[in-house]
Structure 1
Amino acid sequence: MKTTALFRPIGPDQFEALKKLEFSQIPSHVFGQKFFYPQLHESFAKQIAKEWYLPKHGHAYVIRLEIACSYLEQFEVKRIGGPEHTEYRIPIEEKANFSRELVGKIEVIAEYQQDTIKQPFLFCRIGETTEAILSPAAGFQSHFQCLA
């Protein structure tokens, strides 16, 4: 059977639920939305974990799972940004089938804690506006310091 690796960031509650299931299936509340969004690239899942889950929960994980390619063929790959920003959208109704198609145990491949990830500081000159530097379009959060 041919398989493919998929990746997914999760928060602390999802991690605890995964432990209770002995890393053998996706917990129900990972499907807490209309779709389950496993990523095709580890780097994209890590980016989401650090930029979304970590600030929200203070702790984030990235899981890796193997799934049968024959099962995934029915779903379209969606690109939502750059070349590595690709994911599947698995409908919530498919949770049982998705878990049945997992091959082996789900692995935790990365863990992040808020106190170990430092947000970068941005420095600006006196008179420079922070709005120009810290625009949401630029993807920056409000961690900055202006020096005299």
Structure 2
Amino acid sequence: MKLYRPTGLKELELVRDSGWRAWPPRLKDQPIFYPVTSFAYAEKIARDWNSVLPAPDNLGFVTEFDISEAVAAKYPVQVAGGQEHSELWVPAEELDAFNQGIVGVIRPVAAYRSGEKVALETVWNMDG
């Protein structure tokens, strides 16, 4: 199953530090990890929420990754506000097991600054 995750710069750096293979543990105020099922939904969050924070945190990214069908089946798709807003709800304490189901690597695929799309390469070193 292909999933997307809108993220900010700090979380993306932690993903990079994992070798692009795992999502970092949730913070105390984040009981659920929620990857989404469409690029459009991830883009909306990255663009309209993540990228409008005060500088230097005014960057939002969309990442894409694949998860095994067996792991995906453990987390039924949830609809949050409208059919186009579908996501998986992974309890924070199950994130390590969820990460084990990632097939391949987590890939940054789009970037936004202050609500505008920017070339990914201009805000993220793809070799790093």
- Normalising by structure 2, we get a TM-score of 0.82
Q: What is the deviation of 1:30? A: 7.2
The runs of 5 or more residues in structure 1 that have no matched partner are: 119-148
Partner residue in 2 for 1:99? 99
1:44 and 2:80 aligned: no
User: Is the alpha carbon distance of 1:30 and 1:63 closer, same or farther for their aligned partners in structure 2, counting shifts above 3 Å?
Assistant: farther
The residue type equivalent to 1:26 in the other structure is W
Higher relative contact order (CA 8 A, sep 6+): 2
CA contact (8 A) 1:6 1:40 kept: yes
Counterpart Cα distance in 1 of 2:32 and 2:92? 5
Tell me whether 73-82 or 37-46 shows the greater mean CA deviation: 73-82
More strand by share: 2
1:8 and 2:5 aligned: yes
Q: What is the deviation of 1:24? A: 1.1
Partner residue in 2 for 1:71? 71
Residue correspondences, number: 114
Counterpart Cα distance in 2 of 1:27 and 1:87? 18
Which deviations, in whole Å up to 9, do the C-alpha atoms of 1:34-93 show, x marking residues without a partner?
000110111000001111111123101111110011111122211112321100100011
The residue type equivalent to 1:64 in the other structure is E
More helix by share: 1
Q: What is the deviation of 1:32? A: 5.7
- Normalising by structure 1, we get a TM-score of 0.71
User: Percent same amino acid among aligned pairs?
Assistant: 28
The runs of 5 or more residues in structure 2 that have no matched partner are: 118-128
The residue type equivalent to 2:19 in the other structure is E
CA contact (8 A) 2:67 2:103 kept: yes
Q: What is the deviation of 1:27? A: 1.6
Partner residue in 1 for 2:25? 28
